[in-house]
């Protein structure tokens, strides 16, 4: 009899552990089974894409075929009826405590005010950010927002660079801009907003849920929930129409340890794009330096090598680079750019053009 009781107790403990593990590693979905109700055929037909950018206010360049970033984000908030989910590396819409509030911060203040008003419209706001002592995030939290902090130093010894929005799980923004007033005024930023594309947006929502699940954790799970697995990837693209034009799409992510089953890694996606290029490769990037940590240098040449291989092996390929030029830009950048350009000096089958855009730094917001 004692042996039978012991078996029952052990079985009960095993069941409890299994349930506990399932709860820990499952993604909480407040809306239930939205993904089961996706009409992929309808989604493919209804997607609409808008290119958004911020042109620094001191540049006399007009917006052409794009919408200003501030206008695009405000329109996204106007479209929200149920939820807004934001991932941003930093928050400085209202300028930082270390500086005065310049007139250029107005667009950031307007956006912050709209975010504060979401609760009054019965729209939930969820935010993911790094561990930070942000007065803005504290104010949003006090105003009903769910704020989730990631300890990236413990998880990867790195930082969050992701910047995206998920609105009503049917609209999305992905781009270079964080929630910083400079991104809406003095910085050169670029991104896309996609409307009415539930199929693709739900996949981005899975990445948001992955981040949210890691709040305050100092370790990564060995097994990810199936609800975090990618819906589409480089081998299984989403076939859709963007502005009545046939297209294929999927969402990649990084670092590798943040990629559950079937999620294409960023480096794989970049390599695929460069390999499939036929006539040109245009790149806009903040810094072009295949090195990490100048105090203890580490050479990281993966993307630089991809470009060099394309210039050498492809016929009539044109590479154009738009790179930010900061006060803190490493002078060694010029050496790597010069080295890249020399590959085409004696060749008529390739060309490399480099433009550097002077920008003001983010200072304490970065």
For residues 6-23, average pLDDT:
43
Mean pLDDT, the chain, integer: 85
48: pLDDT strictly greater than 90: yes
For the stretch 206-246, pLDDT in tens is 999 999 999 988 899 888 999 999 999 999 999 998 898 89
Q: Do 115 and 147 touch, CB atoms closer than 8 A?
A: no
Enumerate residues 6+ apart whose C-beta is below 8 A from 184. Answer: 54, 69, 70, 73, 107, 108, 111, 177
7: pLDDT strictly greater than 60: no
Q: What integer pLDDT is reported at residue 177 of this predicted model? A: 94
For residues 318-338, average pLDDT:
89
Q: Which stretches of the chain are DSSP H helices?
A: 2-25, 40-46, 69-79, 106-116, 135-142, 152-156, 198-213, 266-276, 302-313, 332-342
**Cα separations (Å) of 324 from 29, 287, 298, 351?**
39, 6, 22, 20
- Greatest CA span in the chain, whole angstroms? 89
For residues 170-198, average pLDDT:
94
Q: What integer pLDDT is reported at residue 363 of this predicted model? A: 42
Least confident piece of the model among 95-109, 217-231, 233-247, 317-331: 95-109
110 or 102, greater pLDDT: 110
Q: How far apart are CA 18 and CA 12, in angstroms?
A: 10
Q: How far apart are CA 129 and CA 211, in angstroms?
A: 9
For the stretch 268-310, pLDDT in tens is 999 999 999 999 999 998 889 898 766 778 899 999 999 999 9
The domain locations on the chain are 34-276, 277-358
Q: What integer pLDDT is reported at residue 37 of this predicted model? A: 62
Tell me the backbone φ, ψ of residue 49, rounded to 5 degrees: -115, 140
17: pLDDT strictly greater than 50: no
Global pTM? 0.85
In CATH, what number does 34-276 get? 3.30.870.10
Mapping DSSP onto H, E and C, the string for 45-80 reads HHCEEEEEEECCCCCCCCCCCCEEHHHHHHHHHHHC
Tokens representing 238 are 């989403």
25: pLDDT strictly greater than 70: no
2: pLDDT strictly greater than 90: no
Q: What integer pLDDT is reported at residue 74 of this predicted model? A: 97
Which neighbouring-strand residues pair with 356? Answer: 323
């Amino acid at each position: 009899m004692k042996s039978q009781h012991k078996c029952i107790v052990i079985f009960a403990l095993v069941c409890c552990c299994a349930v506990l593990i399932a709860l820990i590693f499952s993604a909480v979905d407040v809306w239930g089974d939205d993904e089961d109700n996706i009409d992929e055929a309808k989604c493919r037909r209804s997607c609409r894409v808008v290119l958004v950018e911020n042109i620094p206010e001191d540049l006399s360049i007009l917006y052409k075929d794009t919408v200003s970033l501030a206008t695009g984000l405000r329109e996204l908030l106007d479209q929200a009826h149920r939820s807004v989910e934001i991932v941003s590396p930093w928050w400085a819409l209202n300028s930082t405590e270390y500086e005065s509030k310049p007139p250029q911060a107005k667009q950031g203040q307007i956006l912050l005010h709209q975010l504060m008003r979401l609760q009054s419209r019965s729209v939930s706001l969820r935010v993911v950010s790094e561990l930070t002592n942000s007065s803005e995030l504290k104010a949003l939290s006090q105003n009903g927002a769910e704020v989730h902090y990631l300890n990236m130093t413990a998880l990867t010894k790195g930082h969050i660079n992701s910047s995206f929005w998920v609105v009503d799980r049917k609209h999305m923004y992905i781009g270079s801009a964080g929630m910083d007033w400079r991104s809406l005024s003095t910085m050169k930023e670029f991104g896309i907003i996609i409307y009415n594309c539930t199929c693709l947006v739900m996949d981005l929502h899975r990445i948001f849920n992955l981040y949210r699940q890691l709040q305050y954790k100092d370790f990564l799970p060995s097994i990810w929930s199936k609800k975090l697995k990618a819906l589409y990837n480089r081998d299984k693209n989403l076939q859709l129409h963007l502005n009545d034009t046939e297209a294929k799409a999927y969402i990649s992510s990084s670092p590798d340890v943040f990629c559950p089953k079937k999620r294409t890694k960023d480096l794989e996606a970049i390599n695929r794009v460069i390999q499939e290029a036929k006539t040109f490769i245009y790149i806009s990037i903040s810094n072009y330096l295949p090195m990490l940590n100048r105090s203890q240098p580490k050479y990281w040449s993966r993307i630089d090598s991809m470009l060099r291989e394309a210039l050498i092996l492809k016929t009539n390929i044109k590479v154009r680079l738009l790179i930010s030029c900061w006060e803190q830009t490493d002078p060694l950048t010029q050496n790597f750019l010069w080295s890249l350009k020399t590959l085409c000096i004696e060749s008529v089958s390739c060309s490399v053009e480099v433009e550097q855009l002077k920008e003001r730094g983010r200072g304490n917001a970065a």
